[in-house]
Amino acid sequence: MILCLETATKNCSVSLVHNNVLLGGKSEHGEKFVHGERLHLLIEELLADHSLKVADLDAVCVGKGPGSYTGLRIGVSTAKGLCYASNLPLWSVPTLGCFDSSPFSEGTVVISVIDARRDEVFAQVWRLQNSSWIPETSVESVIVHQDSFTQWQQSNAVIVGDCTSKVQELLGHNVAHFNIQPDAFPDARFMHQLITSGCQRVEDVAYFEPFYLKDFVAEKSKKKWF
């Protein structure tokens, strides 16, 4: 029994996987991050729904990023705490593979994207094989313009992610070469696809850190204090 956590975006999500099969999941999202207030409650609710306790788990799997610094820190810290307290293995999977593959046919090329602000996205290219995600490229930070992803134009690539509407606009006239899906957050309910394809990695509970890709930059508060 695997507890999966995905918190790299504004979507805070959890799921349970048994023998590579999704048993159930829960998620919440909003304009502001709810992870700190809701993640532990979602875990408790999901376990209770299936009459399970943490002691019944065999491992915890967390989306390692890239994504929000705040979201990743909360998700990874929670996963590590559960593993340390209950002596469970810690697994990680790439957040950019945590999207639904079921609408697409075998062999489809999928470009997954996560918003990195302004004209930039975190992106990774995958190919679907046996309903599983197989990485074709490593994760990259991409400033999107009309000539982005040109090497995949002839593949009728599908673009999925939480900022596909932004990508659609920035690709300009070349958008016709791609199948753009509606905006959708990565979600723990789809992490079983990565586990099935062997994309999970066993991590050191003490030393594992999220994959931020970019350094965290603190923004100056816009609040007027006086």
* Residue 225 within a domain: no
Domain count, the chain: 2
Shared domain for 195 and 169, answered yes or no, is: no
By CB atoms closer than 10 A (0-12, 13-18, 19+), residue 64 is buried
pLDDT confidence of residue 215: 55
Tens of pLDDT along the chain (226 residues)? 999 999 999 999 999 999 999 999 999 987 778 899 999 999 999 999 999 999 999 999 999 999 999 999 999 999 999 999 999 999 999 999 999 988 999 999 999 999 998 999 999 999 998 777 889 999 999 999 999 999 999 888 999 999 999 999 999 999 999 999 999 999 999 999 999 888 999 999 999 999 998 754 444 434 443 3
- Contact assessment for residue 92 and residue 63, using Cβ atoms and an 8 Å cutoff: yes
Query: CA triplet 45, 49, 54: central angle to 5 degrees?
Result: 65
Could you tell me the two tokens for 138?
């490593």
* pTM of this structure: 0.91
Cα distance between residue 23 and residue 32, in whole Å:
28
Tell me the residue range of the domain where 15 lies: 2-95+186-203
Could you tell me the two tokens for 103?
């609408």
By CB atoms closer than 10 A (0-12, 13-18, 19+), residue 39 is buried
205: left (phi over 0), alpha (psi -120 to 50) or beta: alpha
Shared domain for 73 and 104, answered yes or no, is: no
